[in-house]
A and B are shown apart, each in its own frame.
Chain A
Amino acid sequence: DGGITQSPKYLFRKEGQNVTLSCEQNLNHDAMYWYRQDPGQGLRLIYYSQIVNDFQKGDIAEGYSVSREKKESFPLTVTSAQKNPTAFYLCASSIGVEQPQHFGDGTRLSIL
């Protein structure tokens, strides 16, 4: 079945450490997105990518970085510059800008 796979499901970060969240899709979608979800708030866009080797900052990109070397993959790195990284991170993809986004099952990041 086609879908979006995020890994790991749970991740713990130590002080000063960078961590990378994986997102893979086999839906053949061009666009991919990373969101952050905090309790009581709507999803907030971190980064998005319309095509391979191109990506754009969202509303809360500071302290995060991404790459898009393959159509299927869009990993997110949470750097030590992100001072409040504890959240639920969601990866999504869509065929195009008019179409709905399809989501993975998320990665929950916590601080050790």
Chain B
Amino acid sequence: EDQVTQSPEALRLQEGESSSLNCSYTVSGLRGLFWYRQDPGKGPEFLFTLYSAGEEKEKERLKATLTKKESFLHITAPKPEDSATYLCAVRPNTGGFKTIFGAGTRLFVKA
């Protein structure tokens, strides 16, 4: 069964304390992996798409990487405004528009 698991469920960091969020997936072929940021009461905001193992994408303090079984979202020197829930989603190579979302990691960055 296709599955996406994110860890940890919640992460508390001090401002400037770098860390990583994990997204593990088991799918029958990967068409694409997506990272989103979601603020409370808002819709998810698209961050990155990764298509193949070894691929990396960067945006400001965020860097996403992809292996054959997992993806990491690295946060370098986070600031309080980086506090949000980060969602990982996988589109399996089974045809159609099916996208499987993880439950997310809630990130809290304290000043």
Give A residues with C-beta under 8 Å from B. 4, 6, 31, 33, 35, 40-45, 48, 50, 56, 90, 92, 97-106, 108
Q: Is the interface of B mostly helix, strand, loop or mixed?
A: strand
Kindly list 11 other residue pairs between chains A and B, CB separation below 8 angstroms, not including A41-B103, A99-B49.
Answer: A4-B43, A6-B43, A33-B97, A35-B101, A42-B101, A43-B87, A97-B31, A97-B91, A98-B31, A104-B43, A105-B43
Once A and B bind, how many residue pairs between them come within 8 Å at the CB atom?
Answer: 58
Whether the pair A42, B100 counts as a contact (CB closer than 8 A) is yes
Nearest to A4 among chain B residues (CB) is B43
Q: Which residue of B lies closest to A3 (CB)?
A: B43
Interface residue ranges, B against A (CB under 8 Å): 4, 31-32, 34, 36, 41-46, 49, 87, 89, 91, 96-104
Contact of A106 among B42, B98, B99 (CB under 8 A): B42
